[in-house]
Structure 1
Amino acid sequence: MRETVRRAGLATGQLGVAAGLAIVSYLFVGLVLFTAVVTLLVVGAGVLPETVLLLRRVAGFKRRRVAGWTGRAVPEAYVPLEGPLKERVRAAVSDPATWRDLRWLAAHFVYGWLLLYVSLIVWAVGAVVDGVWAGLLRRPPVLLPLVARLADLDAAWSGALLAPPPGAELVDRVAELTESRAGAVAAHGAELRRIERDLHDGAQARLVALSMRIGLAKRAYGRDPDAAAKLMDDAQDQAEEALAELRHVVRGIHPPILTDRGLVGAVRALAASSGLAVDVRDDGVEGGSRAPAAVEAAAYFVVAEALTNAAKHSGADRADVELARRATGLGVVVRDAGRGGADERGGSGLIGMRRRVAALDGKVEVSSPVGGPTVIEVELPCVW
């Protein structure tokens, strides 16, 4: 009985707020009519975007109340009111979500009051009936639980009316994918330029020098065998250096160590050569089925970039890396105890990291307050 009364009290508070919003909706009707008149007169067109923004705040408050009661968020999908006045007015009038908010406002003026009145009647009757039924006869209360049902009804109706228009989430998803695709194309172009630069400045230059050494050795072979032998020794050294350059380029495309040791082993090798004291923790990644090669490569480069930034910029002497197998994919967390203040606009490599992860529809969260620590969390979706 005590829990029922507590739940009914919370529900009554929820319905009381709903009734308060009903009063707001009543006042808003006058504001909407005023806005419509002055907008039609043109001289007051600037009032319309501000009224719509106020309406969005009221609807947003109700969305938060519904989410707090049900535990399920009610998303919103508004058209931004930006640019010159004419564009803001056009966006305010053409936004489907704004018209849905107005529909909710009108309906809520009716059912907000109605549900509160019904709940007060249920309280008046239920306090007596359930007091006898539950207090004397030791039976479960039957009327007071209806108050919570009324709050559920208010949340259900408001959630349905305030939900985004059909297709709005799809539009947002298309915009998100378009942005991530643009980032992936930019990252791919930057990667191609890096490979071309490494091949041109490194391996290609060494191979040209190697060809010249071999040519000189061929011409010197008949008249000066000792000089030819020396040139061939130099050519062998340059061939080995060219191979090292090519291995470096290959590691930048897909590190062979990933194929040989797997992600956990590759990250441990990376940590050992980072110059920091790195603790690598594995949460179910090693020993089971492996993630796709592209996902492992992205995770490897995320750790490499994060540890490089920590060693160069953070002033930290240690870091932690966590690799976790999750139901939705692969999780990567890199923490360092440095000075923090990482700025993505400062060329720290975080933008490239975001683009690489976004290309796989993943997410990156960076927390780096001044004074530290810096924490980079990455979620890479995949099927294990």
Structure 2
Amino acid sequence: MRERLRREGRATRHLLRSAGLALASSLFLAVLVFTAVATATVIGAGVLPETVLLLRRFAGITRHEVEKRTGEAVPESYVPLTGPLSVRVRSALKDPGTYRDLRWLAAHFLYGLLLAYGAVLLWIVGLCVDGVWCAVLGRRAVVLPLIGRLADRDAAWSRALLEPSADARRSDELAERVAELTATRAGAVAAHGAELRRIERDLHDGTQARLVALSMRVGLAKRAYDTDPDAARKLLDDAQDQVEEALTELRHVVRGIHPPILTDRGLVGAVRALAAGSGLEAEVCEDGVEGGARAPAAVEAAAYFVVAESLTNAAKHSGSRRATVELVRTRRALEITVRDEGRGGAEESGGSGLLGMRRRVAALDGTVRVTSPVGGPTVIEVELPCVW
């Protein structure tokens, strides 16, 4: 009986809060009338978006109460009220969510108070009837359980009135997807621009400068060839050294565009080469990646970049001498996990290359998750969608 009273007490509190919102909605009706008159006069049209936002807050409170009662969230679907006043007014008037909330407000004013009054009446009757029924006859309560049903009915009606239609949910999902793709495209363009600037800088400051110096040394060697063969030979030796240095820098630039080692050894072999040259005791584990069908070139290049950037960050900033790299092939994705046992505290704003990594992965519709509490460990988890 005690547990029954507690349970029905929670149901009653839900109904009383619902009744409180219903009473508040009666006051809100005056606000709606004022808004309608102000909007009709055009001068007070600025009141309309604010009133709609207040209405959304009322509906949001009810959604929260329904979620507490049922354990399931009530989705919402609204057009953002942003921009100039004329745009916000049109958005508020054209938003189906506005009329859905108004319909809920009118209905809730009736059933919210009615169910709350019913709960109070059931308490009065239930304490008398169920008290005798349970205490004297030892039977189960029959009146008080009806309070919980009233609370469930209130939650069900509110959910039915506030929940957007399937078309509205699909429209919201499409809008979110468009916004996500717009941000992803902007990130990919920014990453591409940064990569082009890096290649241009490397070619201009490194390879081009060495080739100019090489041309000058060859010219000096040609002039000195007849008069001073030893000096010419030394100049040619220096020129050969500069050719080798220029070739090394060109390989570095080409590796940044698409590492040739990926073509030669595949992703696992390329990652093992990265681990061997990282300066860390890096262990590479793979599950289903080596020996099977290869991922698309763009996916392999992004995975290679993720591992290279992660190992570089670990060697420079973590203070750890050990790292692990795991490559896992799933049915629809390639998963990469890089972990080091260093000091942690990695941040995208810290210039550690995490932002570039995130942009490159986002361009392929992938996801990046960085876990790096202070004190470590740092774990970078990347999932790249992939059709094998």
TM-score of the pair, normalised by structure 1:
0.74
Q: Separation in 2 of the partners of 1:177 and 1:67?
A: 34
* Deviation of the 1:215 alpha carbon: 1.3
Q: Separation in 2 of the partners of 1:67 and 1:176?
A: 31
Matched-pair contact (CA < 8 Å) for 1:336–1:374: yes
Q: Aligned partner of 2:355: which letter? A: I
1:338 aligns with 2:342: yes
Which piece of structure 1 moves more, 265-274 or 44-53?
44-53
1:30 aligns with 2:33: no
Cα-to-partner distance string for 1:242-273 (whole Å, 9 max, x where unaligned):
11010000111111111122112211221222
Q: Separation in 2 of the partners of 1:332 and 1:74?
A: 35
Q: Separation in 2 of the partners of 1:28 and 1:151?
A: 17
Cα-to-partner distance string for 1:45-94 (whole Å, 9 max, x where unaligned):
3862552342352364378569955xxx7654434456898877765555
Q: 1:22 to 1:294 in 2, by over 3 A?
A: same
1:355 to 317, 335, 359: 359
Q: Separation in 2 of the partners of 1:365 and 1:79?
A: 30
1:369 aligns with 2:373: yes
| SS of equivalent to 2:346 | coil
* Deviation of the 1:278 alpha carbon: 2.2
Q: Separation in 2 of the partners of 1:52 and 1:156?
A: 16
Q: Give the structure 2 partner of residue 147 of structure 1.
A: none
* Deviation of the 1:290 alpha carbon: 0.9
Matched-pair contact (CA < 8 Å) for 2:337–2:380: yes
| SS of equivalent to 2:164 | helix
Q: Separation in 2 of the partners of 1:286 and 1:18?
A: 58
Q: Separation in 2 of the partners of 1:74 and 1:102?
A: 17
Q: 1:297 to 1:167 in 2, by over 3 A?
A: same
1:269 aligns with 2:265: no
Q: Separation in 1 of the partners of 2:23 and 2:243?
A: 83
Which piece of structure 1 moves more, 230-239 or 60-69?
60-69
Q: Separation in 1 of the partners of 2:258 and 2:286?
A: 21
1:58 aligns with 2:61: yes
Q: Give the structure 2 partner of residue 100 of structure 1.
A: 100
| SS of equivalent to 2:294 | coil
| SS of equivalent to 2:300 | helix
Over the matched positions of the two proteins, sequence identity in percent amounts to 65
Q: Give the structure 1 partner of residue 164 of structure 2.
A: 161
Q: 1:84 to 1:353 in 2, by over 3 A?
A: same
1:312 aligns with 2:308: no
1:288 aligns with 2:286: no
Q: Give the structure 2 partner of residue 5 of structure 1.
A: none
Aligned 1:107-146 pairs, distance under 5 A = none
Q: Separation in 2 of the partners of 1:30 and 1:111?
A: 13
* Deviation of the 1:321 alpha carbon: 1.9
Aligned length: 341
Could you tell me which runs of 5 or more consecutive residues in structure 1 were left unpaired when the two chains were aligned: 1-11, 121-149
2:218 to 214, 217, 225: 214
Aligned 1:195-206 pairs, distance under 5 A = 195-206=199-210
Q: 1:49 to 1:313 in 2, by over 3 A?
A: farther
1:251 to 237, 250, 255: 255
Cα-to-partner distance string for 1:255-307 (whole Å, 9 max, x where unaligned):
11111221122112212222222232212211211110101111111111122
Could you tell me which runs of 5 or more consecutive residues in structure 2 were left unpaired when the two chains were aligned: 1-7, 39-43, 123-152
1:323 aligns with 2:319: no
Q: Separation in 2 of the partners of 1:269 and 1:165?
A: 48
| SS of equivalent to 2:356 | helix
Q: 1:202 to 1:63 in 2, by over 3 A?
A: farther
Q: Give the structure 2 partner of residue 130 of structure 1.
A: none
Q: Give the structure 1 partner of residue 382 of structure 2.
A: 378
Matched-pair contact (CA < 8 Å) for 2:63–2:159: no
Q: Separation in 1 of the partners of 2:30 and 2:158?
A: 30
Cα-to-partner distance string for 1:109-156 (whole Å, 9 max, x where unaligned):
889999xx9xx9xxxxxxxxxxxxxxxxxxxxxxxxxxxxx9998799
* Deviation of the 1:380 alpha carbon: 1.0
Matched-pair contact (CA < 8 Å) for 1:14–1:151: no
Aligned 1:181-200 pairs, distance under 5 A = 181-200=185-204
1:241 to 245, 259, 263: 245
Cα-to-partner distance string for 1:5-33 (whole Å, 9 max, x where unaligned):
xxxxxxx9999999678646634642541
Q: Separation in 2 of the partners of 1:307 and 1:92?
A: 51
Which piece of structure 1 moves more, 88-97 or 369-378?
88-97
* Deviation of the 1:188 alpha carbon: 0.6
* Deviation of the 1:312 alpha carbon: 1.8
Q: Aligned partner of 2:249: which letter? A: E
Q: Separation in 2 of the partners of 1:291 and 1:180?
A: 21
Q: Aligned partner of 2:31: which letter? A: T
Q: Separation in 1 of the partners of 2:54 and 2:195?
A: 48
* Deviation of the 1:36 alpha carbon: 1.1
* Deviation of the 1:330 alpha carbon: 1.1
Q: Give the structure 2 partner of residue 125 of structure 1.
A: none
Whose Rg is larger?
Answer: 2
* Deviation of the 1:309 alpha carbon: 1.7
